[in-house]
């Protein structure tokens, strides 16, 4: 069913929550966000780490540290969130250079033909920002 990972769903919630607090100028800690969103704290921490790795949020270590957005919600595309959590968008195994993965390689008539579909989805997801949600 074209399942989107639950972590990605959480990421959106967390980002929206960060944006809300942004107005107050205060940084958010992972326990704080967990309490505000109802998402288990370790999971929030994991999501934030992934988002930080992707550059969507910046972290401040030490006491009084926390997380902060790097851009406004309107400047963050859904595709970026998905890519940050679930990795690059790829529907089938055949998309990237995974040659050995397909045993019917020589017979497969649609070899590598998922690319246009992939591109279409990526385009659609890039056109939607978090502010649209």
Check: CB of residue 71 under 8 Å from CB of residue 129.
no
Least distance in Å: CB of 17 to its own copies?
Answer: 7
Cβ closer to its own copies: 3 or 61? 3
Q: Which of residues 78-97 bind its own copies (CB under 8 A)?
A: 78, 82, 86-94
Check: CB of residue 83 under 8 Å from CB of residue 54.
yes
41 binds its own copies (CB under 8 A): no
Name the phi and psi angles at 82, rounded to 5.
Answer: -60, -45
Among 9, 41, 43, 55, binds its own copies (CB under 8 A): 9
23 binds, among its own copies, DNA, none (CB under 5 to 8 A by kind): none
Cβ closer to DNA: 66 or 73? 66
Can you point out the beta strands (E) in the chain? 57-60, 66-69
CA–CA separation, 26 vs 49, rounded Å?
A: 19
């Amino acid at each position: 069913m074209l399942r989107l990972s639950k972590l990605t769903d959480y990421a959106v919630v967390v980002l929206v929550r960060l944006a809300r607090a942004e107005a107050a100028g205060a940084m958010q800690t992972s326990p704080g966000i967990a309490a505000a969103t109802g998402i288990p704290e370790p999971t929030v921490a994991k999501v934030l780490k992934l988002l930080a790795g992707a550059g969507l949020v910046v972290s401040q270590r030490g006491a009084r540290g926390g997380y902060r957005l790097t851009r406004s919600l309107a400047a963050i595309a859904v595709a970026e969130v998905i890519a940050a959590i679930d990795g690059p968008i790829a529907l089938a195994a055949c998309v990237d250079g995974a040659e050995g993965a397909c045993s019917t390689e020589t017979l497969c008539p649609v070899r590598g033909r998922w690319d246009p579909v992939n591109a279409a989805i990526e385009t659609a997801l890039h056109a939607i920002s978090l502010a649209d949600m």
